[in-house]
C-alpha cells in the first residue's frame, strides 16, 4: 500500500468492515477485458458469499477465470480544505483478492443462502423450495488476502 499511514493495521477492524458492508464490487476478467459488478454479499470464515442468476457475464467470467479482486467502502463525508486541491473524503475501505467457486450441492447452497439471509434479514430461513434452489446460483470466494484503508 503506497500510503502506509492510511492502512488499517488492526485485522479485526478490517474484518468488521467486511462484515458490515452490504455491497461488494467484484472485479473479474471477461473475454480478456476488465469486468466489474456490484453484488450484495455476506462474509463468514474467510469466504464471501453471494447469489446470482445461473447465466450472464459475471458467471461466464468466473467460469473463465475464478481469480477476483473485490472492494467494499464506506464514505464518511467530505473533508473541507482551504484550497481546492486540499479537499478530500473521509472513508474506510477494504480491498481483497481471492478465488471464486460455485456451490452446487443442496446443503452447501442452503448454508450459504442462510448466511446471506441472516445478514440481510436478521433471520435464517429454515427451508427453500426446490424451484428456488434450482434457479439460483450460489458463489463463494475464498479470500486469500485483504487490506484496509481509512482517511479523515
Look up the CATH number of the domain holding residue 30.
2.30.110.10
Percent residues over pLDDT 90 in the chain: 78
Each residue of 126-138: pLDDT tens digit? Answer: 789 999 999 999 9
Residue span of the structural domain in which 96 resides: 4-103+139-151
d(CA 99, CA 5): 29
What was the pLDDT predicted at 79? Answer: 85
Flag whether 18 is in a domain.
yes
Flag whether 117 is in a domain.
no
In total, how many domains does the chain have?
1
Q: Give the sign of the dihedral formed by CA 19, CA 140, CA 99, CA 70.
A: negative
Flag whether 52 is in a domain.
yes
Flag whether 26 is in a domain.
yes
What was the pLDDT predicted at 1? Answer: 62
Flag whether 125 is in a domain.
no
Are residues 99 and 46 in contact, defined by beta-carbon separation less than 8 angstroms? Answer: no
Amino acid at each position: 500500500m503506497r500510503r502506509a499511514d492510511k492502512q488499517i493495521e488492526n485485522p479485526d477492524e478490517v474484518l468488521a468492515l467486511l462484515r458490515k458492508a452490504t455491497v461488494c464490487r467484484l472485479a473479474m476478467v471477461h473475454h480478456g477485458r476488465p469486468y466489474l459488478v456490484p453484488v450484495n454479499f455476506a462474509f463468514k470464515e474467510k469466504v464471501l458469499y453471494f447469489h446470482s442468476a445461473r447465466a450472464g457475464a459475471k458467471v461466464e467470467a468466473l467460469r473463465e477465470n475464478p481469480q477476483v479482486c473485490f472492494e467494499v467502502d464506506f464514505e464518511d463525508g467530505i473533508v473541507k480544505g482551504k484550497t481546492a486541491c486540499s479537499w478530500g473524503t473521509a472513508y474506510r475501505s477494504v480491498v481483497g483478492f481471492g478465488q471464486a467457486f460455485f456451490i452446487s450441492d443442496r446443503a452447501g447452497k442452503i448454508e450459504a443462502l442462510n448466511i446471506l439471509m441472516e445478514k440481510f434479514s436478521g433471520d435464517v430461513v429454515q427451508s427453500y423450495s426446490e424451484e428456488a434452489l434450482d434457479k439460483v446460483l450460489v458463489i463463494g470466494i475464498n479470500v486469500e488476502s485483504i487490506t484496509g484503508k481509512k482517511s479523515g
